[in-house]
Amino acid sequence: MGSVLAVDLGASSGRAILGELKDGKINLKEVSRFPNKPIYKKGALSWNTDDLFSEIKKSIIEAKKFVEVESIGIDTWGVDFGLLDENGNLITLPANYRDSRTKGILERVSKLFSLEDLYMITGNQIMEINTLFQLLALREKNPELFYQVKTILLIPDLFNYLLTGKIAAECSIASTTQLTNSYTKEWSEKVLNNFELSRHMFPNIVKEGNYLGTTKPELELGDIKVINVCQHDTASAVVSVPSERDFLFISCGTWSLIGTELKEPILSKDAMKFNLTNESGHSGSTRLLKNCTGLWLIQELKRNYEEDGVNYSYEEIANIASLVSSNKCLIDTDDEIFLDPGDMRERIVSYAKRTNQSIPNKPEEFFRCAYESLAHTYKKTIEEIEIVTNKRFEDIHIVGGGSNATFFCQLVANITGKKVIAGPGEATAIGNIVIQLISLKKIKDVAEARKIISNSFDLITFMPNMK
């Protein structure tokens, strides 16, 4: 029996992981791990998709040394996209959502179309980084480039195209764009027409589990099936949450995505006021969630100290932060001053002065401030989700890289007052793998997959300590 290969690309790193279903359990083998570092291209912060595609091909070749690879699925972060010309060639490297070109665009857009109406159609949290606003900024600032575009492909769809030559848009990744109808899960003609965007630029939307095609012969990778998994990494991560009842999830990576799984979108005024987003999940479900800054703050602080010649591992960071007995500075982790790369210590100090709080000084104080502030952001967001859904949740499932930080998981339990179940750590890759296995008829559905996941991976429970 062949194995399946999950390629999971995050905003700071990528990984390729083999998955095999054997004796009722999923076995994983990491094939490769590589950095994903944005570069400046023609003055724009961009993704180096050439290097990333090279890493994907190398990962497939490496995986084939161990097993027969039956299929591959790719998931990535949302909103960003590649532009193809009429010959099917990439016009330029895809812009990074942190590029400054969308600054101030919401004010201009609001004069053309009610942001409330836009929310009621798309269900998406109104954020400058969303695909719609990136496209409008591109047309406004680089019209000569924009009018060369024949096809727009979101990042995982772009890599699938490079592997197969086939064009499609998978549902979960399309739902991050602010261009789809949250009920029909198709491109919104009303939004496209209002902003004068051609429907022909956007591929037809397919569901997760769709068999797209096989790897192109000229790539010399063999005859490997390419499957549209839940291509938004959060959607894949939620597939792997091992729960049989209503649950809260926190997918904790560079971004923290906090939410729950629903049968239908919620487009209420409260949902919009709290800036909650409705995105497509597996089996026609909706993920009601909020995009919040995540471990980005920790990553940047770590990088800041490395530039000073001080190297901390993430384990060391958690250890020194845990020794701070009382943190006297809390920041709004979603304040725009923390969005862009830079010296987070200076920005935290600036925020503390502006809000009349104690000023961190030592490394452990900066890291503790970031961790504790994140946990308070989670608490506030969870309270908002409970108001909008009219539900009270008992458990929080933390998945992704943050689930490995025991200090942080306990901190979240303490501050939210809820039980935290941590794991699996490679949630996104696991969700990617099980969608492939469902497509290949080796697992019946997501409900069965979640039972298998629960039996396959160790989970750690943290009870709140309110002292």
Catalytic member of 75, 80, 99, 233: 233
233 assigned to active site: yes
Pseudo-torsion of CA 90, 95, 101, 102, nearest 10°? Answer: 110
Give the angle subtended at the CA of 333 by the CAs of 110 and 264, to the nearest 5°.
Answer: 60
| Interhelix angle 296-307/363-389, nearest 10 degrees | 170
Report the candidate in 122, 245, 240 with the shortest Cα–Cα distance to residue 189. 122
Kindly list the strands in the beta sheet with 460-462, ordered across the sheet, starting from the edge strand earlier in the chain: 277-280, 286-293, 255-262, 248-252, 395-399, 419-422, 460-462
**What is the C-alpha separation between 166 and 211, in angstroms, rounded?**
11
Encoded tokens for 128: 């400058």
Report the candidate in 403, 435, 428 with the shortest Cα–Cα distance to residue 7. 428
Q: Which residues of 90-107 are buried (b: 16+ CB within 10 A; e: fewer)?
A: beebbbbbebebbeebee
Which distant-in-sequence residues (6+ apart) come within 8 Å of 300 by Cβ?
Answer: 341, 342, 344
Pairing of strands 255-262, 286-293: antiparallel
Which position has the token pair 């912060």? 45
**Torsions phi, psi of 52, nearest 5?**
-65, -40
Known catalytic residues are 233
